[in-house]
Amino acid sequence: MRTVTLTLKAEPPVSAEAEQLIPDVVAGKTAEEVRRLPLLVGNRRETVGDWFDVVVDEAEAAAPDLLLRGDLVRFKRLGEGMSRGAMVVEGRVGFHAGARMSGGSLTIAGDAGDFLGAHMAGGRIIVRGDAGHYVAAAYRGEKTGMKGGTIVVTGSVGQMVGARMRRGLVYVQGDAGDVAGYNMKGGTVVVGGAPAARVGARMVRGTVAVLGGEPLELLPTFSYACTYAPTFWRVVHHELARVGHAPRVGPGVTFRRYCGDVNEGGRGEVLAAQPG
Amino acid sequence: MLRVTNGRVHDPGNAVAGEVRDVWLDGGKVVAEPAAEPADVATLDAAGCVVFPGGVELHSHVAGSKVNAGRIMCPEDHVDHYRCRTDVTRAGCGHTVPTTYLTGYEYARLGYTTLFEAAVPPLTARHAHEELRDIPILDTGCYTVMGNNHLVMKVLSDPDEERRAARLRDLVAWLLHATRAYAVKIVNPGGVESWKWHGGPVDLDTSVPPYGVTPRRILTGLAAAADELGLPHPVHVHLNHLGVPGNVAVTLASMQALAGRRAHFTHLQFHSYEATRSGSYASGAPAVAESINQHPEFTCDVGQLVFGPATTMTSDAPMEFRLHHLHKDKWANSDIEMESGAGVVPMRYSPRQLVNAVQWCVGLELMLLIRDPWRVFLTTDHPNAGPFVAYPMIVRLLMDREFRREWLEKLNPRVRRFTTLHELDREYTLDEIATVTRAGQARVLGLADKGHLGVGADADVAVYREQGDRERMFAAPAWVVKGGEVVVRDGEVVAAVDGRPLGVDLGDPPPLAADLAEQFESYSSVRLANYAVEDAYVPDQVLIPCAP
């Protein structure tokens, strides 16, 4: 098992775009080859070696394929488009981390910027910290955001989590900002804490499950349907437990179900977990 | 002085069909071969290449308010399609609706040197000219939309035929001069205005509020006015019922109504559909092609569909409204006061979608069934049926029937029941390609100095390396020369010269009639004194003479 370890030498003065830093690209490369990979810093094309110390060494089987160390908050597009392998970032990351990824796992031990996992199609992202706006969302103008995979954020997220997502699972252990699940077409967003205003606005289908309980600031275009213990929650709970982040409410919890957004056909649902 | 030597020259305008000869360029013009070789001559060795005149695009949507609306509402069109700046080019982005600079570079990279924006309402003409000025390399012009203009319809409502014709001629001249435009464009005559009054689709003889004129009168009246003014380009017609199954009936009726007058029918593919018994789409191309074949006074461009993303944008606002309801997707609409409407809806055409497959076949059928290449031109109605960057692929489809058959296999298999493309074996020659992409277009535009390589022509030349794969061949010219300067080398822009604005020389047209001026002042959002586009927006406009 080979691990490529990149340690940030110094924080760049401007944003950098680091879409080359994914296991798919660095796999099989020597340290020198990794150093020569391009890195767009501001509007200048530089190399990975200009900003990182690169070490390629043999490691135990559990070690990641790519390990980045340092405060990478100015590095955008980390893990973008990755399709395999394990990538770990020990520090904060910038915008678009894990965007368009289709496989593998991305673990971020720190906060993530906006558009985390945007257009994600598969794989898993774990963020041990907070994430910005538009987690799992669609980019501007696009019809569909996340299409598959799992995202877990142990902290809170900003606005529009799951906007226009089509499939997949997003679990936010903390709170979510405004308009969680905006225009969702499918998939599941689980909010461990409380969402802010206008949850589920323009939902077409899909589920926003709120574990923090009521009262919810629901739009008038949502209506109460029933109180029940959905079977699918057992599946979601099992999946989250499998990735090591089992929700604090159990698999048999009861939810109040609200249907909406009736302006879009009313086939979406917001679930509010009931105490006990 | 520049010499393009050893190339096989295809210059249909001068009946040169693949002869190896030199083309000499000097002072921005094609010149005769000098008696003695000059000392300062630069040479492009075009051995193994074909030499074409610079490409001419007579129908594209590249500038103005609706194009800008398309850019604003389609950020997804930009994110994966961007070009960084180089030493000679600016940065740009966009695939179906590129930014102005990128539009110029991309057209030039295909060998095009002249470009017309196909629909500009007078109120937005100033904006359109500003954007056209930003488009580098290409000479540009635009057409003024008049088919739903209140002043035009008011004049047309005059029962006195003689007075009506004279007043309309003066009004058309005034509008063209005010907008510094090149030709008269008619979009869904009467149909846009009818929609604004909650009316349904109009047929040729439907009375359109508020003036009670019919589309037939709008079509024939404006065609006659363009003829009487001797405009270099005839009336440029986007017919009624665009994209509707069965619209072949109104298309043929409109052609019948305009018989005997010059007219250019644009994106005819969208107007050539029969209706099946279930109300779906079938090809009406054979009937429409036959009509064009029988009327030498007519020309057309196809608006060939390209599979993949597109952005529909047109002054035909009701059509865009219908399209929006069909797809439930993004839609921008604009009511342009007393002049026109406009709409924008992004699209994606799929070969597996039967309707799109039929549309794709209809465009190629028209190209193959209309016998005279001087009267049918290659366009994609960019970006409505697809982006212009697909031209090399369409050229290959026209020149290579096996390639066509490969594509037919990828389409929805039911398409063979509703089209005849699979029965057509015609393959275009290089001369015919040169005709449908430059020589014919220049001729119908009345641009005597473009579209050919005779002495006195503009020094606009495109040189392509001969390859069996015509798509690759036409996608990356070896050289493109604009105004005597090499602007593209091996498919990359190496110099970004300025193009020139093109207009028509109408002399000093009469002022707007008093009653029309009063109506304008009463209902428009701008004062008449601020309406006309000033000369500063079209500096050094090249004026093409009229021949009344």
| Residue B338's pLDDT band (cuts 50, 70, 90) | very high
Task: Look at residue A213 and tell me whether its pLDDT is greater than 80.
Answer: no
Q: Is B79 on the interface with A (CB under 8 A)?
A: yes
Encode pLDDT of B115-155 as tens digits.
999 999 999 999 999 999 999 999 999 999 999 999 999 99
Q: Min CA distance, A97 vs chain B (Å)?
A: 16
Residue A94 lies in a domain: no
As a whole number, mean pLDDT of residues A180-209 equals 95
Encode pLDDT of A134-185 as tens digits.
999 999 999 999 999 999 999 999 999 999 999 999 999 999 999 999 999 9
Residue B349 · residue B29 · CB < 8 Å: no
* Residues A78 and A126 reside in one and the same domain: no
Encode pLDDT of B425-443 as tens digits.
999 999 999 999 999 999 9
| Separation between Cα atoms, residue B426 and residue B431, nearest integer Å | 14
Q: Min CA distance, B321 vs chain A (Å)?
A: 19
As a whole number, mean pLDDT of residues B370-381 equals 98
Tokens in use for A122?
A: 């598969």
Looking from the CA of A215 toward its CB, the CA atoms found within 13 Å total 2
Encode pLDDT of B499-525 as tens digits.
999 999 999 999 999 999 999 999 999
Residue A16 lies in a domain: yes
State which residue of chain A sits closest to B331, comparing Cα positions. A141
Q: Do A140 and B73 touch (CB under 8 A)?
A: no
Residues of A in contact with B73 (CB under 8 A): 141
Q: Do A141 and B329 touch (CB under 8 A)?
A: no
pLDDT, residue A270, reads 96
* Residues A141 and A263 reside in one and the same domain: yes
Interface test with A, best of B72, B73, B76 (most A CBs within 10 A): B76
Residue A102 lies in a domain: no
* Residues A23 and A160 reside in one and the same domain: no
pLDDT, residue A137, reads 98
Encode pLDDT of B19-66 as tens digits.
999 999 999 999 999 998 888 899 999 999 999 999 999 999 999 999
| Separation between Cα atoms, residue A109 and residue A112, nearest integer Å | 9
Of the candidates A199, A180, A184, A202, the residue with the CA atom closest to the CA atom of residue A262: A202
Q: Is B329 on the interface with A (CB under 8 A)?
A: yes
Q: Is B75 on the interface with A (CB under 8 A)?
A: yes
Task: Look at residue B329 and tell me whether its pLDDT is greater than 90.
Answer: no
Residue A248 lies in a domain: yes
Q: What are the backbone dihedrals phi and psi of residue A262, each rounded to the nearest 5 degrees, phi first?
A: -60, -20
Q: CA dist B137 to B11, B132, B259, B390, Å?
A: 22, 11, 38, 20
pLDDT, residue B153, reads 98
Number of domains observed in the structure of chain A = 2
pLDDT, residue A118, reads 97
Residues of A in contact with B330 (CB under 8 A): 141
Q: ∠ CA(A169), CA(A171), CA(A175), 5° rounding?
A: 140
Task: Look at residue A201 and tell me whether its pLDDT is greater than 80.
Answer: yes
Residues of A in contact with B76 (CB under 8 A): 139-142
Touching A: B residues 471-500, CB under 8 Å: none
State which residue of chain A sits closest to B80, comparing Cα positions. A139
Task: Look at residue A37 and tell me whether its pLDDT is greater than 90.
Answer: yes
As a whole number, mean pLDDT of residues B213-239 equals 98
Using DSSP's 3-state secondary structure scheme, residue B474 falls into helix
Q: Min CA distance, B74 vs chain A (Å)?
A: 6
Of the candidates B225, B186, B227, the residue with the CA atom closest to the CA atom of residue B204: B186
Residue A96 lies in a domain: no
* Residues A213 and A123 reside in one and the same domain: yes
State which residue of chain A sits closest to B73, comparing Cα positions. A141
Residues in A lying within 8 Å of B, measured between beta carbons: 139-143
From its phi and psi, is residue A248 left (phi > 0), alpha (psi between -120 and 50) or beta?
Answer: alpha
Structural domains in chain B, sorted by start? 55-73+108-443 (3.20.20)
pLDDT, residue A27, reads 92
| Residue A62's pLDDT band (cuts 50, 70, 90) | confident
| Residue B70's pLDDT band (cuts 50, 70, 90) | very high
As a whole number, mean pLDDT of residues B9-16 equals 98
Residues of A in contact with B79 (CB under 8 A): 139
* Residues A59 and A161 reside in one and the same domain: no
Residue where a domain stops, chosen among A71, A86, A101: A86
As a whole number, mean pLDDT of residues B353-382 equals 98
State which residue of chain B sits closest to A144, comparing Cα positions. B76
Residues of B in contact with A139 (CB under 8 A): 75-76, 79
* Residues A16 and A147 reside in one and the same domain: no
Q: Min CA distance, B77 vs chain A (Å)?
A: 8
Q: Do A140 and B75 touch (CB under 8 A)?
A: yes
* Residues A153 and A254 reside in one and the same domain: yes
Q: Min CA distance, B42 vs chain A (Å)?
A: 36
As a whole number, mean pLDDT of residues B491-497 equals 96
**Window from A59-63, B131-135, B340-344, B357-361 with minimum mean pLDDT:** A59-63
Chain-centroid distance of CA B221 in Å reads 22
Residue where a domain stops, chosen among A22, A53, A86: A86
Task: Look at residue B271 and tell me whether its pLDDT is greater than 80.
Answer: yes
Of the candidates A114, A104, A233, A214, the residue with the CA atom closest to the CA atom of residue A171: A233
* Count of pairs with CB atoms under 8 A, one residue in A, one in B: 13
| Residue B452's pLDDT band (cuts 50, 70, 90) | very high
pLDDT, residue A59, reads 75
Residue A186 lies in a domain: yes
Q: Is B74 on the interface with A (CB under 8 A)?
A: yes
How high does pLDDT run on average in chain B?
97
Task: Look at residue A276 and tell me whether its pLDDT is greater than 80.
Answer: no
Domain that holds residue A76: 1-86
Q: Which amino acid is at A56?
A: V
Of the candidates A168, A166, A131, A124, the residue with the CA atom closest to the CA atom of residue A145: A166
* Residues A52 and A159 reside in one and the same domain: no
* Residues A212 and A248 reside in one and the same domain: yes
Residue B243 · residue B192 · CB < 8 Å: no
* Residues A142 and A271 reside in one and the same domain: yes
Task: Look at residue A217 and tell me whether its pLDDT is greater than 90.
Answer: no
pLDDT, residue B316, reads 96
Residue B379 · residue B301 · CB < 8 Å: yes
pLDDT, residue B78, reads 92
pLDDT, residue B354, reads 97
pLDDT, residue B38, reads 87
As a whole number, mean pLDDT of residues B98-109 equals 98
Q: What are the backbone dihedrals phi and psi of residue B223, each rounded to the nearest 5 degrees, phi first?
A: -65, -40
State which residue of chain B sits closest to A138, comparing Cα positions. B76
pLDDT, residue A49, reads 97
* Residues A124 and A232 reside in one and the same domain: yes
Residue A226 lies in a domain: yes
Q: CA dist B337 to B72, B149, B341, Å?
A: 22, 9, 8
Residue where a domain stops, chosen among A86, A120, A137: A86
pLDDT, residue B209, reads 94
Task: Look at residue A214 and tell me whether its pLDDT is greater than 90.
Answer: no
Q: Do A142 and B329 touch (CB under 8 A)?
A: no
Residue A92 lies in a domain: no
Q: Do B75 and A141 touch (CB under 8 A)?
A: yes
Beta strands B485-489 and B492-493, pairing class: antiparallel
Q: Do B75 and A143 touch (CB under 8 A)?
A: no
Touching A: B residues 136-165, CB under 8 Å: none
Tokens in use for A100?
A: 């368009």
Task: Look at residue A215 and tell me whether its pLDDT is greater than 80.
Answer: no
* Residues A117 and A69 reside in one and the same domain: no
Q: Which amino acid is at B303?
A: G
pLDDT, residue B37, reads 83
How high does pLDDT run on average in chain A?
95
| Residue B80's pLDDT band (cuts 50, 70, 90) | confident
